[in-house]
Copies of this chain bind each other. A is one copy, B any other.
């Protein structure tokens, strides 16, 4: 294998596969990046127990300025390799596999010789049947990930809740996540005639996936096998394992009739909650109190040691019964961040029943649920 190419184009690919490479793995070859040079271009692969990423830099990509002398393959220790490439003196570099899996990396007057591993011993990625593919713009999938993944559980006591539940049902795709204290559910229309599916993807995989995309306007093709999902774009294959087990039936958790409703601007409510949480974070229970009456909506935060805060909230509209309700402000902050800049309606039943948050724009099928904290 011998090739010269543009350093920055190569670094961008390395950065992507590096998301899947952990230095903590117990399988030594997985600390490496697999490099395969064919007549078509350069494929890089990184992998860990949860995800695998394969990128392809085509020889036809002008930015890559790639000149292939001989094809071949090698595995190089990823962290060092990346550091070395990053610090090379010139904008171009040459890679050449010498004997005994040694690799020469040269740029300007600097000549590195590093020890590699035989590419044949790198594990094979799963083969996924690409017949039943859901196609979505990257932008749409990224939004779905941002709107749900924050609500997955961080605890392994119920592993299935560490993932996002995706259900494709004839004409719509539902994504829902819950850690049993709060829930976020988004439904988007789908206009493709493909087989229904019902899978749970680890939240961590989705966050890495979202960061790995380079072009929001590209299409991503989603293919599912028994225990794997593949997200495929023009130059990237992103594999994730699926979580096994039955996801709880979350649909019955979402209430449909309410006694009190208020409309808020998201950014203003978010900054008030943020202020109140400064004090609640120091209290033992981390709760803030919302006191709703027909002519005022007041937020309270308190810490016995530091002090307290009280703020009359700006709201657009309040309807229904007066209510005092306490909740964890961190769940509220995360929920509000997922809505972005718009307006929401918050709907309550009582001080001890979960309340919902939805965009006032009723065309967006997006609902969040937060369980209040009993204070008496």
Interface, chain A (partner B; CB < 8 A): 77, 80, 83-84, 87-89, 102-103, 109-115, 271-272, 274-275, 278-279, 282, 305-314
Name the distance in Å between A245's Cβ and chain B's nearest Cβ. 41
Residues in B with CB closer than 8 Å to A109 are: 311-314
Residues in B with CB closer than 8 Å to A274 are: 87
- Is there contact, CB below 8 Å, between A80 and B278? yes
- Is there contact, CB below 8 Å, between B305 and A112? no
Name the distance in Å between A218's Cβ and chain B's nearest Cβ. 35
16 examples of A-B residue contacts, CB within 8 angstroms: A77-B306, A83-B278, A84-B275, A87-B271, A87-B274, A87-B275, A89-B272, A103-B307, A109-B314, A110-B272, A110-B311, A111-B309, A111-B310, A111-B311, A113-B308, A113-B309
Name A305's contact: one of B103, B115, B313 (CB within 8 Å).
B115
The 8 A-B pairs at the shortest CB distance, nearest first, are namely A114-B307, A110-B311, A112-B309, A109-B312, A113-B307, A87-B275, A111-B310, A115-B307
Name A112's contact: one of B83, B111, B282, B307 (CB within 8 Å).
B307
Copies in the complex: 2
Chain B: which residue is nearest A298 at the CB level? B109
Given A87-B274, A109-B314, A115-B306, 5 new contacts (CB under 8 A): A80-B282, A88-B275, A112-B275, A112-B279, A113-B308
Once bound together, how far apart are the Cα atoms of A315 and B223, in whole Å?
57
Once bound together, how far apart are the Cα atoms of A314 and B84, in whole Å?
19
Chain B: which residue is nearest A302 at the CB level? B113
Residues in B with CB closer than 8 Å to A312 are: 109
- Is there contact, CB below 8 Å, between B110 and A306? no
Once bound together, how far apart are the Cα atoms of A111 and B298, in whole Å?
11
- Is there contact, CB below 8 Å, between B271 and A307? no
Chain B: which residue is nearest A102 at the CB level? B307
Once bound together, how far apart are the Cα atoms of A332 and B158, in whole Å?
52
Once bound together, how far apart are the Cα atoms of A310 and B109, in whole Å?
8
Residues in B with CB closer than 8 Å to A115 are: 305-307
Once bound together, how far apart are the Cα atoms of A312 and B282, in whole Å?
59
